[in-house]
Amino acid sequence: MSAIVDVEAAARSVNKSTSALRMWASKGWIHRHGYDRRGRLLVDVQEVTEVAQRKAAEDAERTAAWATAVA
C-alpha cells in the first residue's frame, strides 16, 4: 500500500519542485487526494515516483537521440 503525503514531501522524495508536481496533477499524470489542513495538495508518493521515473527515462531517450543527431 502506498502513502498519501503532502506535495512538498513528495517533491523532496523525487528531487522535483512542488510546482512540477502541481503541473503533473493538472495534466492528470498524478491524482489529487485532497488537501491537508494547511492547504497543501495531497498525492500518492508511489504514483509520483512512477511518473518521475517515466519522465527520467523519456528525458534520457531524448538526450540520447539528440546526441546521436549532433554527432
Evaluate the CA torsion angle 42, 45, 50, 55 in order and state its sign: positive
Instruction: Name the DSSP letter for residue 35.
Output: B
Write the CATH number for 63: 1.10.1660
Per residue in 14-63, pLDDT (tens digit) is 999 999 999 999 999 999 999 999 999 999 999 999 999 999 998 888 88
Task: Please give the backbone phi and psi of residue 5, each rounded to the nearest 5 degrees, phi first.
Answer: -130, 165
- Residue 31 has a pLDDT of 97
- Residue 1 has a pLDDT of 63
Distances (CA, A) of 3 to 6, 9, 29, 43, 67: 10, 11, 17, 8, 38
- Residue 62 has a pLDDT of 80
The structural domain count of the chain equals: 1
Per the structure, the complete domain to which residue 19 belongs is given by 4-70
- Residue 59 has a pLDDT of 83
| pTM: predicted TM-score of the whole model, two decimal places | 0.82
- Residue 68 has a pLDDT of 74
